[in-house]
Amino acid sequence: MLRWILALLLIPFLDAVLLAVIVTQFGFVNWVGMVLLVVLTGLVGMLLVRAEGRRTIRKMQRSMAQGKPPTNELLDGGLLIAAGAFLLTPGLVTDLIGFLLAVPLTRIPIRAALKRFVIVPYADKKTGGFASGGVWTFGFPDDGMAREQSESTDDGTYDLGDDAYTVDGDGTEDSYTIEFGDDRTDDGDERDDDPLAR
């Protein structure tokens, strides 16, 4: 978190240094010209963000009308909000970042990288793999430890180790008996009169 705060503080510093270098190195650009350049890039950027925002809302409405989740459109909306914030901040570096987030040609690769490296790993961490479908459908996850493989017998069953109960069946009837390992006695609830209980 501290890295992000330092990065956000570094951007205005770079803006101030870049503006000072441009004004001192190029004599034909004075402070008034630099301020006009910053204001002009901010206005053009805001018009671009507004147009892209309307386009993104129309795409979101089409996706929802078709019954699809508008995930890409929601990410585009978030990136456009960030682009608007960068474009409103005076400076050339923030304007450049804002234009990169506002133009679809550069926004789409940024969106793909954001999904792949930030959103999906975070969602997988919070949901245990359900977000990307990387869930365990058989057995148990390793949790960093090597577990013994269960071995299959000839009839297709797996030995999962000792359990707290045993199941007995003679194979001739469609019935079984489960005997739990703990010594529970239900004195008040007798089920001897039930013909299905064995």
CB 131 within 8 A of CB 124: yes
Q: For residue range 97-108, what is the model confidence (pLDDT) as tens digits?
A: 999 999 999 999
Mean pLDDT on 7-31: 80
Q: pTM, whole model, 2 decimals?
A: 0.62
Q: Look at residue 170 in the predicted model and tell me its pLDDT.
A: 62
Question: Scanning the structure block, which residue is given the tokens 């297709």?
Answer: 156
Please provide the DSSP assignment of 46-97 as one string.
HHHHHHHHHHHHHHHHHHHHTT---HHHHHHHHHHHHHHHHHHS-SHHHHHH
Q: How far is CA 152 from the centre of its chain?
A: 38
Query: Can you tell me the distance from the alpha carbon of 139 to that of 181, in angstroms, rounded to the nearest whole number?
Result: 23
- Give yes or no for residue 192 having a pLDDT over 70: no
Q: Look at residue 106 in the predicted model and tell me its pLDDT.
A: 95
End-to-end CA distance of the chain: 62
Q: For residue range 109-154, what is the model confidence (pLDDT) as tens digits?
A: 999 999 999 988 888 888 877 767 666 666 555 554 444 444 545 6
Angle between helices 71-88 and 31-65 (to 10 degrees): 170
What whole-number percentage of the chain has pLDDT above 90? 29
Q: Look at residue 150 in the predicted model and tell me its pLDDT.
A: 46
Phi, psi of 93, deg, nearest 5? -70, -45
Cα–Cα distances (Å) from 111 to 72, 76, 80, 92, 175, in that order, read: 8, 7, 11, 23, 58
Tokens of 99: 């234009």
Question: Scanning the structure block, which residue is given the tokens 């000792």?
Answer: 162
